[in-house]
A and B are shown apart, each in its own frame.
Chain A
Amino acid sequence: MIKGIVRILAFFGKEISEIRRQPRLVLSLVMGPFLILLIFGLGYSGEQPKLKTILVVPPGSTQDPRVQALVKNLGPNFNVLAVTADQAAAQNRLKRGETDIVEIVPKDVDQLFGRQQQSLVTVLYSQIDPLQEQWIRYLTYVQVKELNTALLLNLANAGKQQNGNLDQYINDARQQLSTIQTGLQVAGNPQTREAIQRLRSNNGLILASLILSGQGGANNQAQQSAEQIQNDLQALESGLASSQVKDQQARLTAIDGKLNELAAVAGQVKTVPAEVLVSPLVPDPKNIANVNYQPSYITFYTPGVVALLLQHMAITLAALSLVRENLLGSVELFRVSPTGSGQIMIGKYFGYTLMAGLIAAALVGALTANIPLGTVANIAVSFGMGVPFVGNPYWFALVTLLLIWASLGIGFLISALSQTESQAVQLSMITLLASVFFSGFFLPLGNFTAAVRGISYLLPVTHGITAYQDIMLRGRDPTLQVLLWLSGIALVCFVLAWALWRRNLRRR
């Protein structure tokens, strides 16, 4: 038992001694990501660059006030380089990459609207970057949406002016209704038929006014009321000769009721502002994350960088470890000695865990602690890298431990499979690349298909990033799922790596 511990600690001590003899390696492991974060914090604004835009307008309309207004109101995401009527020249500039988009303003908007047709706002771009293409499509969609809202606002304001006539239409309609009621007492009264026709016309005007004010449209109550009035009037007219007066009275009562409904709607329209009519819903986003700091890109990405760094460091150290023993020839010594493969692995795990843990503590401490002036960390903080740590440090330590073990497991697996140092380094770099793509570090996990997300979950860093962000930034404890994933990866990789290493070490 004691001898077993001595053997395990032989590797623990050896790995520690070997790493501490490489101060440049340790320095680069700590300072490298620290500097990257610093440059990132200093240089990344997080804002999408403005789209360089050339507006192509109908000939002769460059000085049109509406075009001027359009240029003024294009929004903060567009930088208008030129307004021209020469579409070919604009497209040539697009081909030469001098502009991001060419937006063609339709020339016959009014006529088409009059003919109840939509006008196309064509946006040309030349992109091979799908993200940038999505961004252009989204911005142009938002821009046209805003233009439509502005147009609707104008129409609504015009409709409200029409609203003054609405009362008059309704009063007139009521008068016609009274005339009809009186006329019904006298069979064949020509004034009754005339009043019905006038009432039908009035009803149309009321609906039109409501529509213009934004209260009309399919399935709308005003529309339904107006339609019902039209139907009742039609039945009334056709039944003038034959129907019973009693039936006609019932119809008139119904029409009166519907007219009252229309009057009520008209009353509402008068008081509602045009902006509310056009945009009844206004977004009001509120961040309820219970944090006492201002979220920034650097604070958000720091936990990910720490997790990625730890994984990469642990994988690289472990990946080179067993290969190096093979290349040095030390395995020959192990084969003859009474030391077992498990003792070698466990000793190495302990050694690397201690080193990686110390580096993680130093890095996170430097990024988050309030350290006296003059230290590198404080310089970084003064540059805006004061990364918050609002969670439980014990949970952080546990997640770090599991993350290191899981990463070491993958590293030892790579090492046991590799014949040369180049192979081990290559596989480590591939794992790093996969981590950058699939861990949710830059691209959200939700963007991947379920199958590819499976790869994400096999990477320790995926769970490390989630847990670190929860602990450091939200003050939330890691989920059981994260802990189980990390433990599972660590265990499976350890068993596989051990089995392969044991086979490799076996006397032949």
Chain B
Amino acid sequence: MRQAAEGCVIEMRNVSKTWGDVGVHNITLQVPAGQIFGVVGPSGCGKTTTIRMLTGVYTPDSGELRVLGATPQTFNKRARERIGYMPQLFVLYPTLTVKENLNFVASLYGMPWFSRRKRLNELLQFVELTQARHTLAEKISGGMKRRLELACSLVHDPTLLFADEPTAGVDPVLRGKFWDRFKELQKSGHSLVVTTQYVSEVEYCDQVAVLRRGRLLMIETPDGLRKRAFGGFAVIALHVDPEDEPNTREILGRLPFVAKIESPRNTPQGLLHVYVDDAGTRLPTLIQALGRDPTIDTRTAEEFKPPFDEVFITLMQQADEKDPEGAGGDE
């Protein structure tokens, strides 16, 4: 097991890279070692550009950028050997077999021929491609291609892995397996930067950077994102008898920690969203307060964790309202 590196593996300060109006602007972020750092945002928001700057493919127009303590544009060979990269598209050779492709990438990183065999077999097992190792890459499925690319990006055991939309076009079951692999890598001490369009996947990340129109909207933990979507509050979903709803609102309104009570649209009557500062600590108090009135029939009371799709849409709407031109972020 590899020990997680201390400090930050990535530091970006006011980094910009643009082609006319397109590109990324003033990105500032830090990625601590040993984390899975997600980068999410709609198509064209600058995820791939950011990854390419981090891997040294693109040179920033301005700002400071350091990856593993060095500037990517001046990476020496040794620094490059510490980085793994899984591109967004399949860039391997269709007329080579799975194992030949893996071998080829191992050679790109200068891995000695005689000592790589064990590593290749482990990786093939890791991505469940052992059976298909002699199959031509053009003959394997899309999901297998993504797994092959993951194996190739890990073949030289990099300290820091960049995976650009690794789960794009992959079925949900396989996506789950990918994230399982990423978690395993994290446990073994690797740092990962993963971009994704599937916002539900941010749940697997330690921190998430949300990009919108080339600008960084925020960096948060997954829970932090939910809170942001609800204006900084946690939400308790309370289901009571519809006839008890007025009474319930009155009781809850008297509680000092309740910031807001809403009846969500398009939901059955009697369902209330109660906005509090911290759901974990306030939920018992809230249940206690309602229990004092025997007429109220409380059916369920739990912390409301909306799907990240919803969170993401809410966040984007909030951003659009706040900054319709997309000229600046708040982080």
> Are both chains from one complex?
yes
A335 near B57 (CB under 8 angstroms)? yes
**Is there a chain A Cβ closer than 8 Å to B142's Cβ?**
no
Which one of B35-43, B79-87, B290-298 is at the A interface?
Answer: B79-87
- List residues of chain B with CB within 8 A of the CB of A333: 85, 87, 91-92, 105, 108, 152
B80 near A337 (CB under 8 angstroms)? yes
**Is there a chain B Cβ closer than 8 Å to A507's Cβ?**
yes
Q: Are A329 and B91 also in contact (CB < 8 A) when A6-B110, A6-B111, A334-B108 are?
A: yes
- List residues of chain A with CB within 8 A of the CB of B55: 335-336
Q: Are A7 and B110 also in contact (CB < 8 A) when A14-B104, A17-B95 are?
A: yes
Interface size on B, residues (CB 8 A): 34
Chain A 162-179 against B: per-residue CB contact (8 Å), 1 yes, 0 no?
Answer: 000000000000000000
**Considering the chains assembled together, what is the distance between the CA atoms of A336 and B87 in angstroms?**
10
**Is there a chain B Cβ closer than 8 Å to A339's Cβ?**
yes
B56 near A336 (CB under 8 angstroms)? yes
**Considering the chains assembled together, what is the distance between the CA atoms of A145 and B78 in angstroms?**
83
- List residues of chain A with CB within 8 A of the CB of B83: 336
> B59, B78, B80, B100: which contacts A508 (Cβ < 8 A)?
B59
**Is there a chain A Cβ closer than 8 Å to B77's Cβ?**
yes
B87 near A507 (CB under 8 angstroms)? no
Q: Are A330 and B113 also in contact (CB < 8 A) when A17-B96, A337-B80, A508-B57 are?
A: no
**Range of interface residues on chain A?**
20 to 34
**Considering the chains assembled together, what is the distance between the CA atoms of A334 and B92 in angstroms?**
11
Chain B proximity of A331: nearest CB distance (Å): 8
B56 near A3 (CB under 8 angstroms)? no
Chain A proximity of B21: nearest CB distance (Å): 18
B107 near A7 (CB under 8 angstroms)? yes
B108 near A339 (CB under 8 angstroms)? yes
Closest to B101 in A: A14
A336 near B91 (CB under 8 angstroms)? no
**Is there a chain B Cβ closer than 8 Å to A133's Cβ?**
no
A4 near B110 (CB under 8 angstroms)? yes
Chain A 321-358 against B: per-residue CB contact (8 Å), 1 yes, 0 no?
Answer: 00000001110111111110000000000000000000
B110 near A21 (CB under 8 angstroms)? no
> B104, B110, B136, B152: which contacts A3 (Cβ < 8 A)?
B110
16 extra A-B contacts, CB within 8 A, seeds A333-B108, A338-B81: A3-B77, A3-B110, A6-B110, A6-B113, A17-B96, A328-B91, A330-B91, A332-B57, A333-B87, A333-B105, A334-B108, A336-B80, A337-B80, A338-B77, A338-B108, A339-B108
**Is there a chain A Cβ closer than 8 Å to B126's Cβ?**
no
Interface residues of A (CB under 8 A from B): 2-4, 6-7, 9-10, 13-14, 17-18, 21-22, 328-330, 332-339, 507-508
- List residues of chain B with CB within 8 A of the CB of A508: 57-59
B57 near A336 (CB under 8 angstroms)? yes
Chain A proximity of B50: nearest CB distance (Å): 14
**Considering the chains assembled together, what is the distance between the CA atoms of A22 and B93 in angstroms?**
14
**Considering the chains assembled together, what is the distance between the CA atoms of A22 and B138 in angstroms?**
14
- List residues of chain A with CB within 8 A of the CB of B103: 13
- List residues of chain B with CB within 8 A of the CB of A9: 107
**Is there a chain A Cβ closer than 8 Å to B73's Cβ?**
yes
**Is there a chain A Cβ closer than 8 Å to B112's Cβ?**
yes
A-B contact pairs, 16 of them (CB 8 A): A6-B110, A6-B113, A9-B107, A14-B100, A21-B95, A21-B96, A21-B136, A22-B95, A329-B87, A332-B91, A335-B57, A336-B57, A337-B105, A337-B108, A338-B109, A339-B108
- List residues of chain A with CB within 8 A of the CB of B110: 2-4, 6-7, 338
Chain B proximity of A55: nearest CB distance (Å): 67
Chain B proximity of A320: nearest CB distance (Å): 13
Chain B proximity of A137: nearest CB distance (Å): 57
**Considering the chains assembled together, what is the distance between the CA atoms of A336 and B107 in angstroms?**
14
Q: Are A10 and B57 also in contact (CB < 8 A) when A333-B85, A507-B73 are?
A: no
Closest to B90 in A: A329
Closest to B100 in A: A17
Chain A proximity of B79: nearest CB distance (Å): 8
**Considering the chains assembled together, what is the distance between the CA atoms of A316 and B104 in angstroms?**
23
**Considering the chains assembled together, what is the distance between the CA atoms of A334 and B85 in angstroms?**
10
Chain A proximity of B26: nearest CB distance (Å): 20
**Considering the chains assembled together, what is the distance between the CA atoms of A336 and B48 in angstroms?**
14
Closest to A335 in B: B57
